[in-house]
Structure 1
Amino acid sequence: MSRVSRVLSSQLVCLAVFAFTHPALASEEEEFDALAAPPLATCVGAHRQTYTPGLRLFPATVHFTEDGTLNTCVSQDPTLGSVSYHLEGDAPASCALISLGNRLNLTWSSGETSVVEFVSPLVLSPLGQAGTKSYGRVVTGKFAGALVINVADVQPNAQAPLACLTTGLALSMGVTSMTFLQLTLPIPPLPIPPPSPIPAP
């Protein structure tokens, strides 16, 4: 990773953690520092979605599935060679937008599991989208407490616009990555109470 990439990644992590842990306090004037060790794990791979019935131009309730297979992982734990997940449910969706929920159940190649909750639902544009970042936290399992940065895109399909107008778009896919970071947050100083007023004689 280049020096510029490392700096940008650090800035994104600090911003994400600040917004996630202090949503009511975030402002342009406030500063926040977070110390991040090297990533616990970084994994890359592919994700694939199916829709039944196929997506059209206007929103309608569909049954969706998403399968992610991140088959290349670089981790401090050498037993973690890959990670995968399966997600499905019913949701209103169109060719322009679908929300996949905000929780993923991950299964590592070691047999261990992690449950990740994202700050906001994972949203995709089935017709195609550039890499979109989502931030979350591992709530239980492997790397519990770690920050998760998920980046996903959807590869444009030349036949997709026609499918949206006719039979419905039944499939989309793209590439995805997940980075797991263990952060050490500074402990804020305790507030000092104001002095008690001295009663008048």
Structure 2
Amino acid sequence: MRVVRSIPIRRSRRAWAALLVALALCLLAPTSASARGSDAPLLECTGTVKQTYTPGLHVLPRFVTYRGTIEYSNCVGDVEITSATYRETLEYFASCTANGGPSEATIRWNNGQASELKVVGVEADVVGNVQVFTSVGKVVSGRYSGHAVNIITALPKLSSLADCLTPSGLTEVQGSSTLTIVGL
């Protein structure tokens, strides 16, 4: 005859209840962004952008030299970084209606360090009288290397489009920008 030992039900229920409480506490406990691996921003900066085109942009595409400079003066999230300057220069075919694409840029931080960015996607939307460009990419070297970057630039729509019809074309536009460096 075989004897089977049983575990008392009370003890088994208590063990399961303790396990469930411990699991719930682990799931609900706050963790840092780096511990979670989330895409919480490491750094956010706001500033002003100036873009120049030589020769000016027209309605039809032509070969231009583009220079973009963004002066970020309000950076939060990293105590070492309070400001930065973003610069890029491109030579490509562009027009007032087809502008933007993959690029590389350099950011010089206020602490003397730099970052090289590769921007791989640009999306343009019109919100009221403003053109909003969202650029996404990655920091490929320097400070924040390996992290994702998101740059949102807002430029006035009405005045810039009128310039596209002049003989000299659209040669300069200014607006605002937000830079976000996202955690790994």
**TM-score with structure 1 setting the length:** 0.64
- Following the alignment from structure 2 to structure 1, what is the Cα–Cα distance between the partners of residues 67 and 133? 19
Going from structure 1 to structure 2, the CA distance change for 1:157 and 1:38 (only over 3 Å counts) comes to same
- Following the alignment from structure 1 to structure 2, what is the Cα–Cα distance between the partners of residues 171 and 155? 11
Letter in 2 for 1:47: V
Report the alpha carbon displacement of residue 98 of structure 1 after superposing the two structures with TM.
1.6
RMSD: 2.2
What is aligned with 1:166? 166
Report the alpha carbon displacement of residue 149 of structure 1 after superposing the two structures with TM.
1.6
- Following the alignment from structure 1 to structure 2, what is the Cα–Cα distance between the partners of residues 59 and 37? 37
What is aligned with 2:155? 154
- Following the alignment from structure 1 to structure 2, what is the Cα–Cα distance between the partners of residues 107 and 47? 15
- 2:112 counterpart of 1:111: yes
Q: Deviation per CA, 1:121-159, whole angstroms, max 9, x where unpaired? A: x4669xx7533322211111101111112111212243x
Letter in 2 for 1:58: L
Q: Which runs of 5+ in 1 are unaligned?
A: 1-33, 184-201
Q: 2:65 aligns with which of 63, 66, 77?
A: 63
Percent of paired sites with the same residue: 27
Q: Which runs of 5+ in 2 are unaligned?
A: 1-35
Larger Rg: 2
Q: Deviation per CA, 1:76-130, whole angstroms, max 9, x where unpaired? A: 2x2211111221122111111222542111100000011111233x4669xx753
Alignment of 1:79-158 (within 5 A): 79-99=80-100, 101-120=102-121, 122=122, 129-158=130-159
Going from structure 1 to structure 2, the CA distance change for 1:37 and 1:51 (only over 3 Å counts) comes to closer
What is aligned with 2:42? 40
What is aligned with 2:56? 54
